[in-house]
A and B are shown apart, each in its own frame.
Chain A
Amino acid sequence: MRLPFDTRNVLRILRSVLVVSILMAVLSSYSGSYLATYEKKLENTPGLAALLPVMMAAIGAAASAYGSRLSTDLHLGRPSVIRALKDASAQFLALIIVLGAYAEVISLVFASGKPGLVVLALKTTSCAYAVAAGLATASVVGAVKAGVNPDDVVGPLVTTVTDAVTIILSLLFAP
């Protein structure tokens, strides 16, 4: 019987997906365990649970976008510190505006408009993005030096580490 798919191609995809997925899953399990250990803080800070996944996704996406542009510049043989700083700053400003506004809305809906949630979002975003952008820069440069395509490495690495850093910092900054 002829299968409707190519077994060799499926195995090739699985080989490339499984190693990275399992490694990243173990890293994420650490941040999940940290989150569950400090579950009371999350429970007692109204709106934090609504804020956390959005901060994780947005900071990871901003740092990945910056890393992707840096990687393109290196591929094209036109690395520029000024352009990298401009890209990183543009992503940071956009993050602060969007996450500040989202935190304000969440604060109004779930925390009776108390300003604490907005301050927490801005502090966490600033610190986590600094780590994420630094990691994106280091991983792009490191991947190029190691002869690996940075496009295959930067996204999963930056988003997974950013998730962990965002969880840890937001719980540290929560009252």
Chain B
Amino acid sequence: MIREIVAALSSLAALVALESGTGVALELLKHKWAQHPELLAILPALMDFRGNVALAHSSRATTAQHLGDDRAMVDSTVATTIACLIVPPFIAFAVHEMYGGNLEELAAVAVLTMLAVASVVTPFTVAVVKASVRLGLDPDHVAPALTTSLSDILTVVFTFLIAGVIIS
């Protein structure tokens, strides 16, 4: 039992350390979402979607690396980028229906945020997978935590940065 608790403690402590950046960013951006609560409404869905996509991409990229199949890694990168174009308008529509806000503005913020995050995180994932192998680490243990945490932080920051330009 002690061994299980120690194992869970170490992985959760690392996760909390990585995710604390997202929490602190959200706390520091309070004044921005107080003026536009619709951004707060869209944030969990964007973070959840980006996290799921990042996790799936990192999983496919590590499998491709293990199999030595670089083309499969490129396929996954292309599919991830296309998904980031298709899903955000659905998120904007769902938030608009459930909470409100300007649909066009929400859709623009959602699409541009996801594309901006994808443009950083997708190549980062491939780089982490390749670097892990070179350093003799198992990418399955390294890539998922790093890419999902980076996705969360960047989603919060980019949402407010892009909304600052688009929403008057």
Binding site for B on A (CB under 8 A): 4-6, 9-10, 13-14, 17-18, 20-22, 24-26, 28-33, 35-37, 39, 42-43, 47, 49-54, 56-58, 61-62, 65, 86-87, 89-91, 93-95, 97-99, 102, 106, 110, 155-156, 159-160, 163, 167
Contact = CB atoms under 8 A, between A and B. Distances in A.
B23 A29 contact: no
A163 B99 CA distance: 18
A35 B39 CA distance: 10
Interface of B: 1, 4-5, 7-9, 11-13, 15-16, 19-20, 22-24, 26-27, 30, 33-34, 37-38, 40-45, 47-49, 51-53, 55-56, 60, 71-72, 74-76, 78-80, 82-83, 86-87, 90-91, 94-95, 98-99, 148-149, 152, 156
A53 B23 contact: yes
Contacts of A13: 60, 75-76, 79
The 7 closest A-B pairs by CB, nearest first: A94-B8, A36-B41, A90-B4, A29-B94, A28-B45, A13-B79, A50-B23
Interface of B is mostly: helix
Contacts of A159: 48, 51-52
Contacts of B75: 5-6, 9-10, 13
B40 A39 contact: yes
Contact of B19 (A18, A30, A58, A167): A58
B135 to A, nearest CB: 24
B79 A52 contact: no
Given A32-B43, A57-B15, A97 B82 contact: no
Contacts of A43: 30, 34
Interface of A is mostly: helix
Given A5-B74, A86-B4, A32 B52 contact: no
